[in-house]
Amino acid sequence: MSEQHAEITRPPEIRREERGHDFYPAAEILAAIPALYATEHIPVGEKTVHLHYFCAWGDWYVTEFNPLDGEAFGWAMVGHHDPAMGEWGYIDLPALESHRSERGLPHLVERDLDFDPAPAGECLPRR
């Protein structure tokens, strides 16, 4: 376990009751996610995706996580349903957790409770 993950705590959740489940998994699951930049030497298709978040307007797949501020790195497809438009980048998990759309349903970003870690090449949407 890296020093960064030695004191892991889950960031606070402001939409927990409304969502009906925890946005963040248990601390031991978060601790198993590599720190930011820890997988930059691994080809993208071989990176392990540890978490999947979704809503009507997007999907986020987390490969790295910073427990100090909730920032993550992974692949996202936002505002459309075309995997060719997805891209790798940073994900502000606390911002996703607190977001609440006033239009349409579902209006909250949720964690995929049935998602099991898998290589990106096997679990990301295909073009």
Spatial CB neighbours of 96, under 8 Å, sequence gap ≥ 6: 23, 53, 60, 109
Q: What does the pLDDT look like over 50-109, one tens digit per residue?
A: 999 998 889 999 999 998 899 999 999 987 777 778 899 999 999 999 887 776 655 899
What pLDDT score was predicted for residue 96? 93
What pLDDT score was predicted for residue 37? 97
Domain count, the chain: 1
Spatial CB neighbours of 10, under 8 Å, sequence gap ≥ 6: 22, 24, 26, 27, 30
**pTM for the structure as a whole:** 0.86
Q: What does the pLDDT look like over 13-34, one tens digit per residue?
A: 888 888 899 999 998 999 999 9
Write out the residue range of the structural domain in which residue 117 sits. 3-123
